[in-house]
Amino acid sequence: MRAQKRQVKVSFAILALFLVIFHWKVNSLRQLVTFPHSTSYVSRQEDFCEQVERDGPLKAVLERILLQPDSPVSQLCKEWKPELHCRKGQTFRPQGPVQVYDIFLFSFEVDALEIRFHELNELVDHFVILECNIDHKGYPKPLLWNILKDDPRFLPFRSKVIHIVREVPLDAVRGDRNKIEWSFEQQSWEKALEFCRFLPSNAIVMLGFVDEIVSRQALYEAIYCDPHPSYPLSFGIWFPFGHLERAYKSDWPVEGHPYTYGYPSLRYANQCSEGTFRQQFSSHQLGGLHLSNYCFPPFVILKELTGTEYGSESFHSMTQEQCKHLVSNCEGSTFGRTVPLDQVPEEDMEAVYIPWFVKCHPNRYPALMHQIDSRAVVVS
C-alpha cells in the first residue's frame, strides 16, 4: 500500500512538472506569436511617408521602429567576435569584484539600443536605461523598454537591465517644438545622480546617451589595462554623422583630436556629481561610434520632432512632401564639415570604430550604408 502511494505521489509530481514546462513553452511561443512587432507584410511595403501623412508621424514611426530587421542574427558571430586584450606596452590590472554600470538616456533609438547591448554586454554588469514619459520637447511618449523587454531581440539582455523612469505629470509640461530646451535632459541627468548615490563608491559608471557607443576594446582598456587615463575620463568616439566612410569635425572633441566626439564619460560612482552630464575631462580614451544622423527614415522623423536641438514640424501631422524632404536631406546633411576617412589624421583614426555586431551583420541596418531598409521604404 505504501509503495502504491509513493508511486502515485511520484506520478503526480512528474505530471505537475510536465504541466509547468508545458505552460512555460506555450507562454514562450505566445510571446513570439502575439508580440506587437509582428506588423504585416503589407504594412512593410507601404510607403513610409504615405503612412506618416495618413496616420500621423508618431503612430507611423512607432510601428516601423518596432519591426524586426530583415537580416537575422547569426549565431556564428559569437565565435567571430574579436578577443579583448591589453595592447603592447600595457599590463593587465585585475579589478576584483567591481561592478560596471552603463547609464544612458534612451528615447526611441531601438536599433542603437540593440547595437549597444551587443557591443558592451560582456563588460557591463548592469545596463541602466533612463527613460521618460515625455520627449525632449515636453510631449508624451510611450515607455519603449516596457515593450522591448519581451522582444526576442532584447530578451538575452533583459536580466541586466535596470529601467529608471522619470514620470512627469502630462498636464504640467508642454514644450515649444520650435525652441531648444535643455531642461528635459538636465532633469534626466539629475535622476542618474540619484541612482549613483546608492552605488558602492568604487563602482564604475559610464554616463551618456544610447547612441554614444564606446568600443568594447576602449572600455576594456579603461578598466583593466595599465597605464590608462585617470578617472573621471571622457571617451573620444568617431562621429561619422551618418556616413560610415567619413568623419565629422565636431564642436565637442576631446583635446587634441578634432575628428572625435568627446562623450560619454567614465568615472567611479562617488565621482558622479563632478561636473555636469555633458562634462568633458582632460583625461580621455579613444574608440567608439556616435550613431547620430542615422538615416533610417523613422529615426529621421523622430529626431526632427523630438530631438533637443531640433523640432520645427507638427508632431501630430506632416505631409508626404515634408516627410520625404527630411528623409532625403539626411543623407546629404554634413554641413560641409565631414571628410573621407583617408583624410583623417592618423592620431584620430584610433577613435574610428564599427561595432563588431554591425560588422558581422552588414545587412541588418542598411540605412547605415545609405541603402533602403525594407522596414520603412520611401518612394521619391
Angle 196-201-202 from CA coordinates, rounded to 5° = 115
What is the full per-residue pLDDT of the chain (380 aa) written as tens digits?
555 555 545 454 544 443 333 333 333 333 322 334 444 444 677 899 999 999 999 899 999 999 999 999 998 887 788 899 999 999 998 877 789 999 999 989 999 999 999 999 999 999 999 998 877 667 788 899 999 999 999 999 999 999 999 887 766 555 555 555 566 677 778 888 899 999 999 999 999 999 999 999 999 999 999 998 999 999 999 999 888 889 998 889 999 999 999 989 999 999 988 877 677 899 999 999 999 889 999 999 988 877 655 555 556 688 999 999 999 988 776 657 789 999 999 999 999 999 999 999 999 999 998 899 999 999 87
Please state whether the predicted TM-score (pTM) of the whole model is above 0.95.
no
pLDDT tens per residue across span 338-371: 899 999 999 999 999 999 999 999 999 999 988 9
Identify the DSSP state of 100. Answer: E
Grid cell locating 277? 552630464
Of residues 225, 249, 229, the one with CA closest to residue 239? 249
